[in-house]
Amino acid sequence: MKLIIGLGNVGEKYHLTRHNVGFIVLDEIAQKLNIDFKFDSKLESFIAEKRINGEKVIFSKPTTYVNLSGNALSKIMSYYKIEVDDILVIYDDIDLELGKLRVRETNGHGGHNGVKDIIKHLNTKDFKRIRFGIGLDKSMPLDHYVLGKFSKQELETIKPVVIDAMNVVDDFISEQYFKDVMTKYNTNN
């Protein structure tokens, strides 16, 4: 069983904001796979399930807000009995320029409070992740920037990155050797 978790904030107010790239990628996957997310209060998430190549895959959009994502993730892992090796986290990264992607097996939190919370709840920084570059505009406060909506031009810029992220998810689900996945996508970026 695999778990793909995209970080973001729930609500129309946050739709298409930079902090919600995890949700954006999962929404595109849901459309491609023709699956629907349903709210599960005990798991503090919108959950979608799909059997792919004979394996059950859980897709999650936590409702805990980005900075508390670890709580929802740990509940989902416990409920479905999913191991850390079988999770993939998708989140925004201000340290990568807009339109860049980095795939990692381990890393620190890089100042991302949602990832910091996940590390705290899992008691490890060793989990697979997709860091989705949103860049940084230092002329505005950080919270205004990450919670700001993408411009039309920025949405065009991230379209191919969303597709790359979806392809990483496909490779992860099909159990490709993850170091090869990292080489494939990190080299292209």
AA identity, residue 103: V
Query: For residues 88-121, b (16+ Cβ closer than 10 Å) or e, as one string?
Result: bbbbbbbebebbbbbbbeebeeeebebbbbbbeb
Tokens 């739709």 -> residue: 15
- The pLDDT of residue 189: 58
Q: Which residue ranges make up each domain of the chain?
A: 2-188
Enumerate residue ranges in the chain where pLDDT < 70.
188-189
Q: What are phi and psi of 83, to 5 degrees?
A: -85, 155
The whole-number pLDDT of residue 112 equals 87
Catalytic residue among 19, 109, 112, 121: 19
pLDDT tens digits, 9-64: 999 999 999 999 999 999 999 999 999 999 999 999 999 999 998 999 999 999 99
Confirm or reject CATH 3.40.50.300 for domain 2-188, answering yes or no: no
Question: Structure pTM?
Answer: 0.95
Cβ 118 vs Cβ 139: under 8 Å: no
Residues in Cβ contact with 105 at an 8 Å cutoff, skipping those fewer than 6 apart = 126, 127, 128, 178, 179, 182
121 is catalytic: no
